[in-house]
Structure 1
Amino acid sequence: MTIWTSNEAHLKLFDEIAAEYRKTHPDVGEITFDPLPFESYTTTLTTQIAGGNAPDLAWILESSAPDFVSSGALAPLDDTLRKAPGYEFDDLTPSAVKLWQAEGKLYAYPFSTSPFGVFVNTDLLKEAGRKTPAEMIDEGAWTWENAAAENAAVVAGTGKAGMVVRDFDYKGWDNLATVWGGWGAQPWSEDGRTCGFDSPEMVEAMTFLHKSIFTDKAFPGPGTTADFFAGDAAMTITQISRASLLQDATFGWDLVPLPAGPKGEYSVIGQAGLGVFKNSPNAAAAADFLAFFTNPANSAKLAAYFPPPRASQLTAETLAKSNPLLKPGQLQKVVISGIEKGVVKPNHTGQAELSQTVRAALDPLWQPGADVKAVLGGVCAKIAPMLGT
């Protein structure tokens, strides 16, 4: 199974589940988990497939879901999962499986449906003499404008970094959906045919972001690295799977929802699916293992890092049992509420080429004197033919 995590806690759990499966399936000689770098994951996976070296199972990013689901490369899972003893297939929420279905068939199991939240270094905020997001939430003041001001103050007062959009690094532009969502902006229309980068909402959101980076210094600029989990930044936007990195934290921290934008409160969800390649010589065995890997008992274990698609397990109390570092209140506000109202990160057919084109077209934006509106108009000029407009 190809995956994109090399987190030791994740791998330990996967190996434990695999070992348990093999106890009742002695004919399965070995189950291996092959971590690939996140930055090049989909490219590497598609290269393996094209070279006839596809894995039996693979994690699939939400951005690549339309391509993989429509490609014919994945085996439908419905029959295997429905027939698995005690699987409770109907417990899977319709909203979680929607992206991974085609013509009524499920082609990947959405093992992670994880809203983005903001991890906060409360010690740095106190050192800078600023309010914590929790205090601002109580006052109804947790907005992007105020969040930027808090982070800029930390930078000025402590020399540490402000807000880090994890996995963005001026390359992974789709992670900026966690920011522009507050303005109601989208990269393209719901049907995927019309570019949205030049919309008034996107221009306003990206103008705010540009000012926050280059004028206010609230976000680390290009070429600057800051690891929140090492205590180097005031805040970071990421998912709860990263909470394990705080096991030995030497600073006070909190987890809160994304700040409200001009369009109000919102949530953005990252999804990951697990699919079986139908041309694998081990496809049947792989599907059977997938059913075991994602059954109710193992889904509850995986929930420590990956919010499950099972309605019965989407309660703060249930998630708290497998997330001892997080409080029920944090899980309720960020995960449960986030799943209820969230939108999935950008995805489109032809995502690989589309993503590279957007990334290149956005490059001129990441300099102090950029003309935000002109750059975003240039993005649309580049991708409009790819969207079919």
Structure 2
Amino acid sequence: MVKVGIAGIGFMGVTHFKAWEEVAGAKVTAICTRSEKKLSGDWSDIQGNFGGGGGVQDLAGVARCRELRELLADPSIDLVDLCLPTRLHPEAAVAALEQGKHVLVEKPIALTTADADRMIAAAEANGRLLMVAQVLRFWPEWLWLKQAIEGGDYGELVGLNLRRVISMPDWSRDVADLAANGGPLIDLHIHDVDFILYLLGKPAQVYATGRNAGDYINYVAANLAYPGGPTVSAQSGAVTMKGRMFQHQYEAYFERATVAFGEASEPAGIDPALKQGGSQVLTVYAPDGTASFPKPPSEPAFNAQLGHAARCVERGEPSPIIGAQSARDALAVVELEAQSVLSGRVVDVP
């Protein structure tokens, strides 16, 4: 049994706590938060831009820590699940690794590649696993797309466009502090950049335009160059109205199929039967004008991700899917996109 301690009980901490309850072979045995209300199990004030609220949790049998050092001092904990604000990731991860804990850190790995490198070095020095919760790699429709590309049934991938937008995240003080968390370029767009690298590897160049809000980039439209390969673009930002708090989608253009998927939070009154709203089930459009609706993998993404992390810990094996180096590589590409936005130039990817 892999024993897990969660540090940080906000929107993502709650999401992970609920998912861990569904993971065989793992159990949350401790949480860490400075909020007395959260320590009591009352998480009803916790909200996010998808899914439900925190509710009230039964924490019987779960150790409750007010400081991270208390959680790290527990010798029974195998894996520390860091769901803290991104600016706190480096210090917390290094401390956990130096205490002999394996670490799963919520995305992005850090705000800078320098901090990411420090975290990776600490994992290597202490012989512990450092994984990054890039959950899109487990999202059923995105996982289906990777399998479709690798399977080759639709021919070569010609083009790919991804979009991920949210309204201003006023449901969380930490998430709403865009200057402190890197803004949508780092906190949101990282999802799609990471997944593109998972599909295709590093691009040769990036070119991006965006809306510079001073301390952060609030909207980005990026092109990633793969010479001899597909044309790839992605857009992200905190620019939609509150009626659409969250939307992510993709269209993939193959030689013999077009594949589309979209998911969005919708306000009351939206009627999908009237083709209202922005959601679309996974759809494959064929050359003969017909469409089919394949079933993606059924396991919820967070459950699949955490189950994978637990198995890596149990076996003592590095993750081939959510290892820290791949997350660091995605952050490096996002940093280059920021350079491109600010300079107006194409930037080479080392």
TM-score normalised to structure 1 length: 0.34
Specify which structure has the higher proportion of strand: 2
Specify which structure has the higher proportion of helix: 1
TM-score normalised to structure 2 length: 0.36
Higher relative contact order (CA 8 A, sep 6+): 1
